[in-house]
Amino acid sequence: MSSFIEKEKKARKVAIWIIIGMIGIWIVLSIFSFTGSEVRKRPNTENISFNNQSALKGKQVFQAYNGMDCHTIVGNGAYFAPDLTKVYEKTGAAWLKAYLGSPGTYPTQAIVNVNFQQLKNDGEIDDANFDAYLEKYEGAKERIDRRAGVKALMPNLNFSGEEIDALIAFFKYSAQLNTAGWPPEVKARQSVIDDEADKLEKESGLIRSFSSASKPAGQQGNELNTNASPAVSGQQLTIDLGCAACHSTDGSKLIGPSFKGLYGSQVSLDNGNTVAADDAYLIKSILDPNADIVKGYPTGVMPSFKGMVTDEHITDIITYLKTLK
């Protein structure tokens, strides 16, 4: 009898030690899960920002415009448009800023370059120069080579300049998420992608075969001017520089006001004033677009072309605008 009790006591002791051991393992593993590098590295929407806009605000902008209705983030959302989790890592901020500023058209190299220079001056980009940027963000280079000037399916959501910066902050945040490779890359056949691009290009009203699309803004007009009339060269500049993505020539409203009938017209500004669209006004609009804001249009969306275009470029553009009666 006593040996039976002894046995029971021993078994109970063993059981207690097993439980203590398991609790010990549980505590140790719990500590690991809090001190593990993954957790410490996890990005936070509150301390990531871009151009003074927080990723938290960007997340709210993404939600307010129902980004998930077309796009996915970490695979969540609608599978109509590309997953955006890593888009910042692929294209960088300058391409995103150019694209979100004119979402109906894929940006040209020149307009990405204009955004690059501005963001560099603002201290938001630290790549040494535009070539270094394109080398680092292959997705930007690839998109420019393949689709510059082609119509995009994304609608114009009328983002303000601040909303665009906030969205970039959000993408900067999402690019830092450890997604463990999710969602997987879509493996569409390249020929299918090319066919789609060609189709869009044909439907697009824009001329894609720029004579100089792959050169930086500063080098473009010079060649054109030598063998084209100022109005023709001005027209080409509005395509190469990406103006055409935001300004129509048929009176329709894109991101900015139409160029049709602009020259010599009376423009209503959002401060209540009216100005005549003469040479001085147009020059100012191109070099310092936020000085006067046209009534009903967003602030901070048109980039400044200061330092990116010569006086001759501007004269040619104005000569061209005069022809758009």
Residues at the interface with ligand HEC (CB under 6 A): 101-102, 111, 238, 241-243, 245-247, 255-257, 262, 267, 277, 282, 285-286, 289, 292-294, 297-298, 301-302, 305, 317
**Least distance (Å) from ligand HEC to the CB of residue 202?**
23
Residue 83: what residue type? D
Sign of CA dihedral 212, 213, 214, 216: positive
**Least distance (Å) from ligand HEC to the CB of residue 260?**
10
- Give the separation between CA 126 and CA 31, rounded to whole angstroms: 38
Whether the bond between 216 and the residue before it is cis, its omega within 30 degrees of 0, is no
**Least distance (Å) from ligand HEC to the CB of residue 115?**
9
In the complex with ligand HEC, the residue whose CB is nearer, 73 or 93, is 93
**Least distance (Å) from ligand HEC to the CB of residue 301?**
4
**Least distance (Å) from ligand HEC to the CB of residue 316?**
10
CB burial of residue 286 (10 Å; 0-12, 13-18, 19+):
buried
Residue 225, CA distances (Å) to 145, 214, 234, 285 in order = 24, 17, 9, 22
**Least distance (Å) from ligand HEC to the CB of residue 291?**
8
The tokens of 16 are what?
Answer: 């207690």
CB 17 within 8 A of CB 23: no
**Least distance (Å) from ligand HEC to the CB of residue 275?**
8
The tokens of 68 are what?
Answer: 């998930």
In the complex with ligand HEC, the residue whose CB is nearer, 43 or 261, is 261
The tokens of 60 are what?
Answer: 């709210």
Rg for the chain (alpha carbons), in Å? 28
- Give the separation between CA 292 and CA 257, rounded to whole angstroms: 13
In the complex with ligand HEC, the residue whose CB is nearer, 76 or 268, is 268
Contacting residues for 9 by C-beta, under 8 A, at least 6 apart: none
In the complex with ligand HEC, the residue whose CB is nearer, 54 or 236, is 236
- Give the separation between CA 183 and CA 94, rounded to whole angstroms: 25
Backbone torsion region of residue 278, taken as left when φ is above 0, otherwise alpha when ψ lies between -120 and 50, otherwise beta = beta
**Least distance (Å) from ligand HEC to the CB of residue 243?**
3
In the complex with ligand HEC, the residue whose CB is nearer, 92 or 298, is 298
Q: Which residue's structure tokens are 């051991």?
A: 21
**Least distance (Å) from ligand HEC to the CB of residue 300?**
8
Contacting residues for 87 by C-beta, under 8 A, at least 6 apart: 96, 139, 171, 175
